[in-house]
Structure 1
Amino acid sequence: MKKSKLFLMVGMMLILAFSLAACSDKGGASGGKDGEVTLNFWVFGATNYEELAKEYEEEHPGVKVKVKVSETDDHHNSLFTSLSAGSGAPDVAMLEIDQLDRFKEAKDRFENLYDLGAKEIQNQYLDWKWKIGENSDGDFLFGLPTDIGPKAMFYRTDLFEEAGLPTEPDDVEKLIQSKEDFIKVGEQIKEKTGKPLLDSMEMAYRAIIDGAEESFFDEDGNLLIENEGNAVRKAYDLAVELNERGIIGDYEMWTPEWGNAVNNGDFTAELGAAWLKGWMLDNAPDASGKFRIATLPTEFAGNWGGSYIAIPSETKYAKEAYEFVEWLVSPENQLKSFKSDAGLFPSSPVVYDMEEFQNIEDEFFGGQSTAQYFANAAQDISFIFKGTKYKPANDEILNAMKNVQQQGADPDKEWDAAVERIKDLISR
């Protein structure tokens, strides 16, 4: 009798221990009531993923999606820390394109989405966007494509008109076919209106860097910026030249001063990505009807921003997580994300052929149908390699430009000093 009671107690303790282990939540998925699966989803910035997560829950009883929103840097740093520690990572996470290569070094901390069925949907997405999400051998997929940032020229029609220039998008495209045309237009606008062409040296720099197939590093990690004809040096020199010609302002993006300048028309144009539209709608009401969008010259075309959705291998529910991610980035839901306040531009060209996408007219841009301009730009972009140290290396160049503009520093000396700091950075 005593032996039976002992076995019974041991059995109950084992059951309790297993139950507690199953219920423990280290940041990944957890079992909910009645077998409910809970997926923790970390995102950054403005997305409509909270709304889509609710929609998914309604369509998939038994699955709960908890969305945690953070600032971009906080999000990536917290995720990197959790992955390094081996605990605390979510089931599903956004990865920004400029930070993606940093996470590729931790391949063992992610699910290979090819193992979960991603090959079956590859043909629904832009080739260059999909390829960036792979490892160098092309046999491991870190994330499914979400939004992209194809670029166009956002320009003030009132300032173009005041300068005696055409204002219709097709005419502006014909007017600006090259870097030389761009500079000529900028000088005419400055002479006639007193306003700079662009807001900052960084915007001029991005004109070239955002379209560079190789910039700071090659795929073996070798530093390229001292090579003749390197895109980073070309971009830097363009920014310096436009600054010396006096056709660039000194507005740092996202500051209140910059926001006021966009709203008031204190500069003429932005070489902006599709997502900039969403910001303008919410933050520049006085500029409504005064902006239009035109295609950029080929040498200034590129991609600025965009993300992927990855699944950390710490998750206990890889299958359920993948099913959610595949649904989230489907062409139909990318259209919803684009039409939402977030304005995430689709990475699926399937969307570009949808009538609902093609017929969108933007009141803010004078009723112009802007979507197709960005869709055309998206399909002209090539594969872009950045490397694990891209962001800190790029920050050094931005700091050099700031010294040139704000302190009157010598551009060549600032360049050389930035190169040395970058070499220091990669030798650590």
Structure 2
Amino acid sequence: MATDLLKPPPRALVSAARSSVGDIWRPVATGGYRDLRRPHPRSAPAALPRTTFDPTLARNIPDPYPDFRRIREHPVVVNERLGVWMLGRYDDVHAAVRANDKLSSRDGVMLRSFVANMVVFADPPDHTRLRHVVAPMFNKRAVQIWTTDIRELAHEAIAGLNAGNVVDMVPALTVPMPINVIARILGIPREQWPGFRAVSEKFAQIFGPQSLSGMVRLMGNAMQAYLRLRCFSDAEMRCRATEPADDLLTRLQAATVSGELTEQEAFLYVLVLLVAGNETTTNLLGMLLIRLAEDPELFAELKSDRSLLPAAVEETARWGSPVQWAARTAITDYHVGDTVIPRGAKVLLFYGSANRDPAKFDDPDRFDVHRDTTGHVAFGHGLHFCMGAHLARLEAATAIDCLLDEVDSLELAGPVRWSTTPSLRGPVSVPLRLNRR
């Protein structure tokens, strides 16, 4: 029997789970393979442009776009204080996310980072092995199986919203719905969903610390949540060994039995799906709700023509970029035009900047559901294309579709508050008034 996620797990289970922590997490200050000399941007040619832009500062996260425009004036800029090289042009970011043989994810994908045996932090061949286990459950055709469940969960959340009242849509819809969808796909018992959400909120914080000391502090704060989830996951997968079900936990258990995954790798899949599986959808859905509240014509157009919903979700992804940037480590000299980024350098790839590059998208700061968004990098690209992208699209479109059935207009009823988590962009509070005729 699995432990209750809202209660401390038994001591015997804690001891076993705690012993595995050191084997899973390895903090790294700013990346850099141990066998690589970490070059500092001070060594870059004097002619290479410098910037003081820090994408981890809370004041820059809600609106980084003025800084992105300045960064795009050059193929490469360096930030000496952060010790990183930065790419902001569409063509350069698009090429970099595909250059897996030159730019590695193995030392973390954040500025201040940790690494683990996760698919997010893996290069081939480990990346190929890890992704192969779960990817088939998240391809475009496979996620359609969940359409009915997603619509049911969307209706459930929206049914509790009272017309005419001011509702903060983040705790009411954009946070609980995606987490509940992931819980259902994993096969988490319904009575454990509140605990699953509580654990998710704890873990989401550790994916964007602003400093190494901050990362260590957040990891310490999240330790109890880690122990609860690890004990719960281990117990649930033991149950799947004798009572298999049509869910993701059963697939992970089968992969450990076949030797495709270690027990730690199987648990880390639960963790990465818990956090990455809902953060992007939460941010995507929240930003689309803001656009609908700010633009009555867009609301009316989508309400009358639901076939535009997929395009609206895609444009929100391009325009808002829920994941703003990712880091890579150069494992060989990497050329961007005439600039050589040296081996061992930490490189930031600004997805948010690439998606607003006028060289790729006309009038990119304008939100337009009729634009061709082909090629945007909101979900990454290449080997590390977001495995849950199709699920996120389906969830966001379904939630808005259900909401449009219930309300005739939306109004912002207070200031929007934005996340301060580095690398992510999305609202943490969206107060709306829901109007019915």
TM-score normalized by the length of structure 2: 0.24
Higher Cα Rg: structure 1 or 2? Answer: 1
Bigger relative contact order (CA 8 A; separation at least 6): 2
TM-score normalized by the length of structure 1: 0.24
